[in-house]
Amino acid sequence: MDSITEALERLVDDAADVFSAALTEALPDDNEGEVQLRDLERATSQVMQRIGQRFLCVLIESCQPEEPAERISCRCGGQAEYVRHRIGTVITMMGQVDVSRAYYLCATCHQGTYPLDEQLGFCAGGLSAALQEALAVTGIHLPFELAGDLFERLTGVSISDNGVRDATEQIGQERRERDNAQIEAVWDFDKASLSASPTHVPQRLYGSIDETSVRTHERWRKPKLGCWYTTDERPPDIPPEEWEPRAEAITYYADLTHAEDFGRLLYLTGLQRGADRATELIFVADGAPWIWSIVEEHFPHAVQIVDWFHATEYIWDAAHSLYGEKSDLATAWANERLSELWEGEIDQLLSTLQKRVRPEIDEDPVQEAITYIQNNRHRMRYPEFRARGYQIGSGTIESGCKRVIGARLKQAGMVWTTDGVSQLIKARAMFFSGEWDDFCQQRQPPRRTYRHAS
């Protein structure tokens, strides 16, 4: 404790010198009123960082004993002997700090260890966990070169573009590894380790899935995004069929993988939102077969709804093919068909379409509309869905694809590695789901193994 008191006394003396020098620099005798507020703020920020660095060093010193133990237990079961103190450098939110800490070497496994490093969770020569997480927050929102510049302007800590990239991808990789570990636990039928279900299970829970395109060095790839959400409650004075529910409490999950593995992620995240216990489970998505295949596999009891707007696109394509783009006849014909679809008159709609099929035309839009409706008619019971107050549009997942994936990964000229795509969308999905802080609080700091040089 005496050493800490002495360190604090030195800090006070150093702070006085720092403040005095900064004051002279910020307000020279010959300034003649030319100093502006921004200059004073900049000087204050620099002083706070210098003092913060030194205070952080004092706090770190207070976490280790004044005299090191002669030996400590090693993870291998042997005894590690004290060798000497070594200086380790860590880049933190306060900038670079140099820490003197005790180094031990085990004669059994020949591995060295720094108890203070393990206690505080830092890796000498690297970034602190807090700095890494702060960099990743900027990296998931901005191109890495812009993120690094912005971070330095806001904090005074300079990190390279690659440093921002590494921090961002590291967080995403850890999230990917956690997801995979939880999926393996759920699918380990010998242990039957199911994911914890939430305490509060919504009466009505929605799910939705979609995919988009991202350019990688190899080719264009299709990362997949899913979401779970609830909707706002219908006011009592509005009939269910007139109510347009709005999504709330949205959580996202994402990956760059094939449908089967994404289905497992669907199941895992569904358990975490209580999909297996919800009174009503409703999926709204477009008509892609891979989507409904994994929904039926993992949640066969769910209500399935094909997005209304995707269905209408097939009607409009048929109308334009028959009567020409933007013609009055096309508009009138399409509106009649849409009315039939809206009112659930599927047989009438199909009958009308079948009379306009043109076998001589390859990929006839009319035939494509028929096929789409026939394959999904049990998901197009729109009068019934409206009467129950269900959401019939997949705008939540479509906007999610733009927000979680497109806004960051589909900017002009961007080309990614496949790992980079997966890591970044994992991190962004976690952030926009409100899970970032909890994940960072629970993550393990980076560790470094020190092996004795022979």
Give yes or no for a contact between 315 and 337, defined as CB atoms under 8 angstroms apart: yes
Task: Evaluate if residue 113 carries a pLDDT over 70.
Answer: yes
Would you state the pLDDT for residue 448? 58
The token duo for 361 is 């035309």
Percent of the chain with pLDDT over 90: 71
Residue 388's identity, in one-letter code, is R
CA angle 387, 389, 390 (to 5 degrees): 110
SS3 label, residue 252:
strand
In a domain, 437, yes or no: no
**Alpha-carbon distance 422 to 44, whole Å?**
41
Q: Which domain holds residue 54?
A: 2-61
State the greatest distance between any 2 C-alpha atoms of the chain, in Å, as a whole number.
Answer: 95
CA dihedral angle for residue 436, residue 437, residue 441, residue 442, rounded to 10 degrees: -40
Average pLDDT (291-297) is 97
Give yes or no for a contact between 331 and 319, defined as CB atoms under 8 angstroms apart: yes
Residue-wise burial string across 82-91, b where 16 or more C-beta atoms lie within 10 A, e elsewhere: beeeeebebb
Would you state the pLDDT for residue 3? 65
End-to-end CA distance of the chain: 38
Nearest alpha-carbon partner for 218 in 449, 429, 445, 417: 417
> Which residue, of 61, 80, 95, is where some domain finishes?
61
Would you state the pLDDT for residue 267? 96
Q: Predicted confidence band at 64 (pLDDT cuts at 50, 70, 90)? A: confident
Instruction: Tell me what the pLDDT averaged over the chain comes to.
Output: 90
| pLDDT tens-place string over residues 126-178 | 899 999 999 999 999 999 999 999 999 999 999 999 999 999 999 999 999 99
Average pLDDT (422-430) is 98
In a domain, 55, yes or no: yes
Give yes or no for a contact between 90 and 124, defined as CB atoms under 8 angstroms apart: yes
Beta strands at 204-211 and 280-285: parallel, antiparallel or unpaired:
parallel
Half-sphere exposure of 68 (CA within 13 A, CB side): 19
In a domain, 248, yes or no: no
| pLDDT tens-place string over residues 11-55 | 777 777 778 777 777 777 666 667 788 888 888 888 888 888 888
> Which residue, of 350, 368, 383, is where some domain finishes?
383
CA dihedral angle for residue 120, residue 172, residue 157, residue 444, rounded to 10 degrees: 0
> Which residue, of 343, 364, 383, is where some domain finishes?
383
Count of C-beta atoms within a 10 Å radius of residue 237: 5
Domain count within the chain: 2
Q: Would you call 444 exposed, middle or buried from its count of C-beta atoms within 10 A (0-12, 13-18, 19+)?
A: exposed
DSSP-derived secondary structure for 374-404: HHHGGG--HHHHHHTT-----HHHHHHIIII
CA angle 172, 177, 178 (to 5 degrees): 95
| pLDDT tens-place string over residues 373-410 | 999 999 999 999 999 999 999 999 999 999 999 999 99
Percent of the chain with pLDDT over 70: 94
In a domain, 393, yes or no: no
Q: Taking the alpha carbons of 330, 331, 332, 337 in that order, is the dihedral positive or negative?
A: positive
In a domain, 182, yes or no: no
In a domain, 427, yes or no: no
Would you state the pLDDT for residue 205? 97
Give yes or no for a contact between 222 and 401, defined as CB atoms under 8 angstroms apart: no
Range in 97-111, 196-210, 355-369 the model is least confident about:
196-210
Would you state the pLDDT for residue 61? 83
SS3 label, residue 184:
helix
Choice between 197 and 206, residue whose per-residue pLDDT is larger: 206
Would you state the pLDDT for residue 192? 55
Q: Output the pTM of the full model.
A: 0.88
Would you state the pLDDT for residue 33? 64
Average pLDDT (423-434) is 98
The token duo for 127 is 């970034």
Would you state the pLDDT for residue 452? 47
**Alpha-carbon distance 229 to 52, whole Å?**
42
In a domain, 214, yes or no: no
Count of C-beta atoms within a 10 Å radius of residue 5: 9
SS3 label, residue 13:
helix
Task: Evaluate if residue 195 carries a pLDDT over 90.
Answer: no
Lateral strand order in the sheet of 247-255: 247-255, 224-231, 204-211, 280-285, 303-306
In a domain, 244, yes or no: no
Residue 98's identity, in one-letter code, is D
Would you state the pLDDT for residue 454? 36
